[in-house]
Structure formats: structure tokens, C-alpha cells
Amino acid sequence: MNDRNSKTKKQSGACVLPCDFHTHTGFSDDCDVPMEQMLEGAIAHGIETLAITDHYDPGYPDPEFPFQLDFSRYLPALQAVQTKYRDKIEILAGMEIGILKGHFEEARRAVDSYPFDVIIGSFHCTRNDDMYRYDFAHADGPAELADFYTYMYECLKEFQDFDIAGHFSILDRYIGTLYDYGAVEDQIDEILKLLINNGKGLEINTSSFKYGTGTWLPRRSILSRYLNLGGEILTFGSDAHDPFYYQYHFNDAVEFARSIGFRYYCKFHQRKPEFYKLP
């Protein structure tokens, strides 16, 4: 989600990856840039393959930003831009689905409503609170983390209608302190095994860099553990809500992935991963 529109310095040099697999347009409640304007920016940026993954968070508790998606407009708009820009950029139809207990059936209906290319499954709420609105300043950080990963596991045992787990360690950004994960390692292992056994991937989401926190999502220990447990499906997503942030810090992200031991990344077509060698 787009917390603030503060622009920070971009990486220099051309991006070594040809794609971006987590992006938003004006169909997301927290993005003011129309779809075609976002796409013109992507083309100018030199992106070859772009997944549009606008927000749909059934049950999201913030009335100001409910993160509903008008499918009657969104799906025809996707089809229209795929036709209009087909000679300039490959546009993949996607969605970022918010995972919230009590709203799995609504999420499933949305996923089944269209032949999407890729679905990102993300947590934007803890068990009891909207992460963006909740004040973590006086919270017990380790306790919040423990309950969050317990909640995540409970949800993922029931809901697996997605392809990529979005910004896995997102709570780090909101808590604002990188606590030691030793106390939650076993919980995270169980989540990662569940994802791997069900053929789900992780993304390297670079959005924290635009907020100045400079934390990888997921953090190194989680991504390394995913690989060690047999996980192979990896995508790269900027979470851009503005063309300025397309492929933000992707060259750094590729180096990060390679330093952990990844040799391949994935694109998705029709919900199936395709593997490509990391540059």
C-alpha cells in the first residue's frame, strides 16, 4: 500500500530486469494515477513486461480507503490497455488480494471472476488492526510479531487462492524496529513450508526503500529460509503507485537475491510460473 508520496533518490543506471510484477494504478484506492498514465510511464521506463496488480481487500476496516475494486470497470480497462499497448509492452492482468480472516469467500469469488495471470496475496491487517492506522509507537514489538505470524499461519491454512505472498515481513516497516526473529523462527518455518507445499512463491518487494526504511521485504533470514526449505518461485515487485517508482532498487534487489543463493526469477502467465535466469 502507498503510505506516503515522498520521493527519494532513484538508483542510477538501467534496470537489469525486464519486468515489474507488483504495480498499481488509479483503480487502487491509494493511487491517483490513471492506468494509461502509469503504462505510458512504464513504456518510457523501458519495461517489457508489467503486471498490473490493483488492490482488492474484502473487509478492509478503513472507510476512507476501503480498497474495494470495481471489477465492472477494472477488467474491461485491463483488456483495453492490453490491446492498445500490445506492440509496446506486455501487460499482465493481476490483482493484489488482501487476506483477512472472515472474508475468504469474497476473496475467492474475486480470484475466480477472471482469467488473471497472477494473484498476489498480502496481509495489510494484523489480527485486530489495520497496520497503517494502528499506532505501533508504544506496542510490544516482539509480541506483535509473534501474534502476526500466528495469525498469518491460521489464515494461510484456510486461504491459498493466490500465487505470490506479497511483502512477507511487512510488519517490520510499521513497527519501525528490526527485532530479532529468533522467537518466531518456528512459526515462520511452518508458514514457508505451507507456501512451498502449495506451490506459492515470494516476491522481493522494494517499496520500503521509498519510505527511507531501507528494509528488504521479506528480510534476508526469511528469504534465505524459503530457499533452504526448497522454495524456488521468486518475483520482483516495486509496489509502484507512481511511475517514478517502477523497478525501484531492482538492481540492488537482484544482487540481494543472488547473495542468498537464488539463480532464477519468475514471470507468471495464466497463473503459472515461468523461470528465467537472474542477470
In CATH, the architecture of 19-277 is Alpha-Beta Barrel (3.20)
State the Cα–Cα distance between residues 145 and 180, nearest whole angstrom.
10
Predicted TM-score (pTM) of the model is 0.94
Extents of the domains making up the chain? 19-277
State the Cα–Cα distance between residues 72 and 45, nearest whole angstrom.
29
State the Cα–Cα distance between residues 246 and 23, nearest whole angstrom.
8
Distance of CA 154 to the CA centre of its chain: 20
pLDDT (average), residues 251-276:
98
32-64 confidence digits (pLDDT tens) = 999 999 999 999 999 999 999 999 999 999 988
Tell me the residue length of the chain: 279
106-154 confidence digits (pLDDT tens) = 999 999 999 999 999 999 999 999 998 888 888 899 999 999 999 999 9
- C-alpha cell of residue 84: 492498445
